[in-house]
Amino acid sequence: MTDTGRREYAGIDYFRLISAFLVVAIHTSPLTSFSLTADFILTRVVARVAVPFFFMVSSFFLFSKKEEVCEQSGRLMAFVKKTAELYGITILLYLPLNIYTGTIKEWRHLPNLLKDIVFDGTFYHLWYLPAAILGACITWLLIKRRTAGQAFGISMVLYLIGLFGDSYYGISEKIPFLKAFYQGLFRISDYTRNGLFFAPIFFLLGTFLARKRKRLPLRTCLSGLAVSFGLLLIEALLLYKLHVQRHDSMYFMLLPCIFFLFQSLLLWEGKSHSYLRNLSMFIYLIHPAIIVAVRGLAKAAGMQKLLIDNSILHYIAVAIGSLAAAAVLSLFVRRKPGRTAGADHTASIGSRDRAWAEINRTNLNHNVKAFQKVLPAGCEIMAVVKANAYGHGVVPVAAYLSRIGIHAFAVATIDEGIQLRKEGIKGEILILGYTPAVRAAALFHYRLSQTVVNLEHAKELNRYGRPIQVHIKVNTGMNRLGESYRHASEVESIFACKNLKVLGIFTHLSASDSQEESDVAFTKQQFQNFYGLIGRLKAKHIPIPPTHIQSSYGVLNYPELKCSYARIGIALYGVLSTTEKNTKCSLDLRPVLELKSRVVLVRTIAAGESVSYSRSFIAQREMKIAVISIGYADGFPRSLSEGKSHVLIRGHRVPVLGRICMDQLVADVTGIPDIMRGDIATLIGKDGSEEITAEQVACSAGTITNELLSRLSDSRLKRVFYDL
């Protein structure tokens, strides 16, 4: 399983620091006293990998494969907020220099101020911060709404536009319409080196490498880096000699060069160093102020020739001063509780130090295909993602399903539907439960489809006065929600409501999971009740909207029904409600979720000692026990106490002892050699040749998997998404 959060990349951290000093070199030109060409190679070729590297680091962790992009919208917003706050602080920091240089006078014209804040940066190096924000947001949208190829193509087009306004501008200005285009563009941004044209391609490259399972061999990476850098050098020098560069940040060969460089650094694994991240960030931000300070002190001390005119010594002085200032700031940040810093400004990926659920997207995809094979032609899956997608994580699950072709979803409440819309989920979202008419505005605004539970409810929604999408629920025998199948005139009146757009009509089967003769007869009677109503509506020339009857067991036991949708819920996640598997249609369903925790303490107890609350377990012999950091507050039922459940540790099935607590449980690990703190305990899932299924756990708890999984805590259990 690919998991960037579990690996530590020492190479990335060390190169952050190198990149920061390369940026200092760009702004001090260390070799100008000796050779302009050598300085050009250092500052305009070698050092040009620094900012793209920082972009790639940000995306590598921000858009890692471990979590679905939509789930990471919160992390994206945290990234944007943190970077914006940092940008605001540095704007204030450099405001005195803006006043001194007269830049602030230009800000009296609002367009100039907006241009500097959004694109150019209020000080020459600060363009990176708004570029990182804009580049991250564009990348998030591309990944979320386009295929990988489309996203790369769009970002490449943006890069090409930037390229011909940068290093290749000499060509563009000779073509009249291109010259006019770029002249207009430069009124908005002084450079195409910004978050719109420059950043997205590097953010996408970082994302690609985060999601790539296999790494290239080191020899391939180094060979590719050597060749691409050689070509980059030729490209840059040729453009330099031809004098076509307007700026010199963007090159064709910069893309493969940074790709192979980053690949090489990923192979350098080792302990991550947060202080290097802090140092690199602060060096980048503070070095222009240090340049001013060094120049001022040199003039005051009469040392201009030594510390200013000598470009190498000037660079060394600025580099040392920046490092010292950054070290002080890093110490301050490290002492501030709850603060984190890094050149990429990304939030760290949630660790698996306590308890978590692993969500296998490959198995989810497999289950979707398994159902699609048995459904009649024209019948689509409506994925039921209520109750946090049965505990699996509603936003990332819905986003993934959308990516693989599912465009209809069902939730229980309006707030669940709003959550999906806010996270960018397209397609139809049907609310299966009741929503009062006072929230009709939200139904309209978020384009949600509401279940109409009877004629009175329809009339209430209709009074809102604006078109609301609805599905009509028909009560065919379950006697829960829905207008009775006997009330054809009432259903006809619902169709007549001018402000209701009827997108579907459906019923709910109450005994489709049973193969008992009486239950089968009752289910078939429900079919007749529903289709009888449909026939009466047709006789009155009412256009029939899409229909849906089956839920998970409806498909497994009555796959032949021809409807527009099949509402697949619990079975979509690879489990059935109970351990009973005697369904008419047997599908190869694969569990999507595994529930895991960690051993936090191992101890030996003597005969006669008790375990956990109420002393419900008394040891009859000397035993080795393990405390595991999961409990009923995480959703693991207390009813599984006192030997009614097991966990898997190192491939061994061991019983739970005593009462399950709110946050911990205790297991008998007497027979497991070398067990230690940090070992993984599997409560649902496989470990070696052993497996504990969700159905088995639910049965032992006296419930069904629907309840067991949907009660898994969303706040206490981290969801970790992966593909095989």
Active centre residues (catalytic): 386, 613
Nearest residue to 423 (alpha-carbon basis) of 703, 151, 76: 76
Find where tokens 């969500």 sit.
359
Long-range contacts of 38-46 (CB under 8 A, 24+ apart): 39/311, 40/236, 40/237, 40/240, 41/233, 41/236, 41/237, 44/236, 44/240, 44/248, 45/232, 45/233, 45/236, 45/237, 46/22
Mapping DSSP to helix (H, G, I), strand (E, B) and coil, where does residue 556 land? helix
DSSP 346-375: PPPPPP-SSEEEEEEHHHHHHHHHHHHHHS
| Interacting residues of 634 by C-beta distance below 8 A, sequence separation 6+ | 355, 663, 712, 713, 716, 717
Distance CA(97)–CA(53), nearest Å, equals 28
Q: Are strands 483-484 and 468-475 parallel, antiparallel or unpaired?
A: parallel
Mapping DSSP to helix (H, G, I), strand (E, B) and coil, where does residue 423 land? coil
Distance CA(134)–CA(626), nearest Å, equals 49
Nearest residue to 69 (alpha-carbon basis) of 327, 316, 396: 396
Q: How far is CA 249 from CA 46, 121, 138, 192, in A?
A: 11, 16, 20, 9
Distance CA(175)–CA(181), nearest Å, equals 10
Tell which phi-psi region holds residue 29, choosing left (phi > 0), alpha (psi between -120 and 50) or beta.
Answer: left
| Interacting residues of 33 by C-beta distance below 8 A, sequence separation 6+ | 309, 310, 311, 312
| Interacting residues of 195 by C-beta distance below 8 A, sequence separation 6+ | 119, 130, 131, 132, 133, 134, 135, 138
Check if the beta carbon of residue 709 is closer than 8 Å to that of residue 390. Answer: yes
Q: Where are the alpha helices (DSSP H) in 199-253?
A: 199-211, 218-242
Mapping DSSP to helix (H, G, I), strand (E, B) and coil, where does residue 433 land? coil
Distance CA(2)–CA(718), nearest Å, equals 16
Strand partners, 451: 471
Distance CA(565)–CA(427), nearest Å, equals 13
Strand partners, 623: 605
For residues 153, 158, 164, 168, the Cα torsion angle rounded to the nearest 10 degrees is -70
Mapping DSSP to helix (H, G, I), strand (E, B) and coil, where does residue 473 land? strand
Distance CA(140)–CA(63), nearest Å, equals 8
- DSSP class of residue 693? -
Find where tokens 């939509």 sit.
70
| Dihedral pair phi/psi, residue 178, rounded to 5° | -70, -40
How many CA atoms are closer than 13 Å to the CA of 25, on its beta-carbon side? 24
Which amino acid type is present at position 522? F
